[in-house]
Amino acid sequence: MAFDSLASKLQMAVRRVTGKGRLSEKDIEGMLREIRLSLLEADVNLNVVKHFSAKIKEEALGAHILKGLNPSQQVIKVVKDNLTEMLGGSETPFVTDTKTTRVILSGLQGSGKTTSAAKLASFMAKHHAKTPLLVALDVYRPAAIDQLKTLGEDLNVPVYEEGTDVDPVIIAKNALKYADKHGHDALIFDTAGRLHIDESMIDEIKAIHQTVNPTHAFLVLDAMTGQDAVNVAKHFADHLTLTGAVLTKFDGDTRGGAALSLRHVAAVPIVFMGVGEKTSDLEKFYPERIAERILGMGDVLTLVDKVSENVSEADMMNMMEKMTSGHYNFDDFYKQLKMIKRMGSIGGLMKLIPGMNKMLNSANVDESRLASIEALIQSMTKKERKDPGLIKKSANRRRRVAHGSGRSVADLNRLITSFDQQMQMVKRMGSMDPSAMAQNPGAMMPKQKVKKGKGKNRGGFRF
């Protein structure tokens, strides 16, 4: 996520007051100092940082907090509420109930407009039952038109284009007629970008806006550019009526300053965020959920959304029934892996679970192991997949399965261990109170055996 570095630093700052029965002004000042440094290092606008810390200080030093019950929890709530406000407050709705939804995407060259156009088409078809049409208005770059056509073919979404010799305003006007004639109720206009903002670029987009009369006018910004993205947004907002922003490369290794400064500096709310390279990797932006992720509180609502989108309720119930009844086998394990892959990366999913961030800091989540596990299970016979005990009891079977998959016996042994641990975890979950699981997810994990080495300092060698 874009805020990984900032999140760890903010969580450390908040830990200064966590668990304290009484708080002093000195405690609050110490926390605020670390918060300010963390935000500045994340490339957040200086004025935004000053405003944010002043509001927290004012609210956190209130008598009802310092003298109230559980002041540390109340201070953390103050930080979360103000962080939510900084990110935009409430969710910006994406309205599609008009007869024809028209979306114009603008921005600088390389910000990800063309890919975002395809992602938006996929999102509207999937979540709003729309029949989208992609419109290529970047007449200055033939490669942009080709890219949009390729993405459209992958999604089975038509692309309206008239080449590079026609005025984009005329293409936009003709596209509206084409959509009306062929029954498309959602148009996404991919406009041309420039290396920098110039007068001709703004004039052209203004003319397109007047022709199209968009339902949504989105500015596409690259989250990797940090504070520069906010300056670009301010310039566009000064000349155009923007309804929101799409922040791309949100899954990248970026400091997150753009997202935290955008609403305050440019008055442009973030509506969508690009979280991957696939056309399905577009998510609605929920300020409160992102604030909770940054502070290590997880994001259960987004996790529930991902599960419900990719896994049917019947499949989930069937899987849980098998696991709790003891009839779970490698076939089921394989199906579960495919469900997880549809939802995204394991690391990304684990970060949505409250408390898992702390465990991820010390755990190495190796995404490539999924491919290894799939190969091992596919190398088993149908009988072995249905009866895991056959593999466990036979060294010959393990050698054959490992050889057939191109993996080692050690890899297969790790798979068997993971399988057993998952069964143990399900048994633990069945006997635990749900509130206890939320507070301490680590308690669900099976206890690891500690192996001691031989000789000097033998206690230091552990698995």
pLDDT of residue 188: 96
- The DSSP line for 300-367 is HHHHHHHHHHHS-HHHHHHHHHHHHHT---HHHHHHHHHHHHHH--HHHHHTTSTTHHHHHHHS---T
Using the predicted structure, report yes or no on whether residue 124 has a pLDDT greater than 90. Answer: yes
Residues 6+ apart with CB under 8 A from 112: 220, 222, 246, 248, 249, 274
Top-level CATH class of 101-298?
alpha beta
pLDDT of residue 424: 76
Top-level CATH class of 303-444?
mainly alpha
pLDDT of residue 133: 96
Using the predicted structure, report yes or no on whether residue 388 has a pLDDT greater than 70. Answer: yes
Question: Mean pLDDT, to the nearest integer, of 140-151?
Answer: 91
Using the predicted structure, report yes or no on whether residue 260 has a pLDDT greater than 90. Answer: no
Using the predicted structure, report yes or no on whether residue 400 has a pLDDT greater than 90. Answer: yes
> How many angstroms separate the CA atoms of 439 and 246, rounded?
34
pLDDT > 70 in the chain, percent = 76
The ranges of the chain annotated as CATH 1.20.120.140 are: 4-86
pLDDT of residue 362: 42
Question: Mean pLDDT, to the nearest integer, of 194-202?
Answer: 80
Residues 6+ apart with CB under 8 A from 45: 227, 230, 257, 261, 264, 265
The yes or no reply on domain 4-86 and CATH 1.20.1250.20 is no
The string of pLDDT tens digits covering residues 350-367 is: 666 555 555 444 445 556
The string of pLDDT tens digits covering residues 75-122 is: 888 888 888 998 888 888 888 888 899 999 998 888 899 999 999 999
pLDDT of residue 301: 61
Rg (CA), the chain: 26
Q: With bands split at pLDDT 50, 70 and 90, how would you rate the model's confidence at 66? A: low
Residues 6+ apart with CB under 8 A from 204: 168, 169, 191, 192
Using the predicted structure, report yes or no on whether residue 322 has a pLDDT greater than 80. Answer: no
The ranges of the chain annotated as CATH 3.40.50.300 are: 101-298
> How many angstroms separate the CA atoms of 252 and 400, rounded?
40
Mean pLDDT of the chain: 80
pLDDT > 90 in the chain, percent = 25
> How many angstroms separate the CA atoms of 266 and 245, rounded?
11
**Pair of tokens at residue 342:** 């549809």
pLDDT of residue 426: 66
pLDDT of residue 218: 95
Using the predicted structure, report yes or no on whether residue 437 has a pLDDT greater than 50. Answer: no
pLDDT of residue 459: 45
Question: Mean pLDDT, to the nearest integer, of 308-336?
Answer: 73
Place of tokens 């995404």: 367
Q: With bands split at pLDDT 50, 70 and 90, how would you rate the model's confidence at 9? A: confident
- Least confident interval from 301-305, 386-390, 414-418: 301-305
pTM of the model: 0.69
Question: Mean pLDDT, to the nearest integer, of 184-213?
Answer: 89
Question: Mean pLDDT, to the nearest integer, of 123-131?
Answer: 92
Question: Mean pLDDT, to the nearest integer, of 409-426?
Answer: 83
Q: With bands split at pLDDT 50, 70 and 90, how would you rate the model's confidence at 68? A: low
In degrees rounded to 5, what are phi and psi of residue 199? -65, -40
With CA atoms as reference, report the closest residue to 32 among 4, 58, 57, 61: 57
Terminal Cα-to-Cα distance of the chain (whole angstroms): 29
Q: With bands split at pLDDT 50, 70 and 90, how would you rate the model's confidence at 258? A: confident
The string of pLDDT tens digits covering residues 33-64 is: 888 888 888 888 888 889 988 888 888 777 55
- Least confident interval from 120-129, 170-179, 274-283: 274-283
The ranges of the chain annotated as CATH 1.10.260.30 are: 303-444
Using the predicted structure, report yes or no on whether residue 23 has a pLDDT greater than 70. Answer: yes
Using the predicted structure, report yes or no on whether residue 209 has a pLDDT greater than 90. Answer: yes
Could you give the C-alpha distances from 44 to 36, 85, 101, 122, 306, in angstroms and in order?
10, 14, 34, 32, 29
